[in-house]
Amino acid sequence: MATAVSYENQTQSAKIQQLQTDVNGVFVQMKDNLGNIINRGAMLDDLEGKTDDLQYRAEQLQIGAHRVQGKFWCQNIKMWIILITVIVVIIVVLVLALTLTIGKKNK
């Protein structure tokens, strides 16, 4: 009978040992999972910061683009005014030259 009890104790001891090993394995896995969750949170915070920075830079780029667009629009208008003025002056000079030439021929 002592042998039977000893065998049962060994069997229970082996089962307890196996359960303890399983519990330790689960504990290690949970610890790893918690570490991964913390790392994920840190990466999400970093990503959020980068997103905010990118949004700010995009807004600044848009402001700069509007400023440059306005500047070139003004330059374009100035060039058109100069071009139209030069064309009008050339037409006036040609008309005056033709009228003077025609006037001299008629006299």
Sign of CA dihedral 83, 86, 89, 91: negative
Q: What is the pLDDT of residue 3?
A: 57
Half-sphere exposure of 66 (CA within 13 A, CB side): 5
Residue pointed to by tokens 């049962």: 8
Eight-class DSSP state of 107: -
- Which H/E stretch holds residue 34? helix 2-106
Letter for the amino acid at 46? D
| C-alpha distances out from residue 39 to 36, 50, 82, 92, Å | 5, 16, 64, 78
The rounded distance, in Å, linking the Cα atoms of 28 and 18 is 15
Encode pLDDT of 35-57 as tens digits: 999 999 899 999 999 999 999 99
Encode pLDDT of 65-102 as tens digits: 999 999 999 999 999 999 999 999 999 999 999 998 88
Q: What is the pLDDT of residue 102?
A: 84
Q: Which two tokens stand for residue 83?
A: 């071009």
pLDDT band, very low/low/confident/very high, at 105 (cuts 50, 70, 90): confident
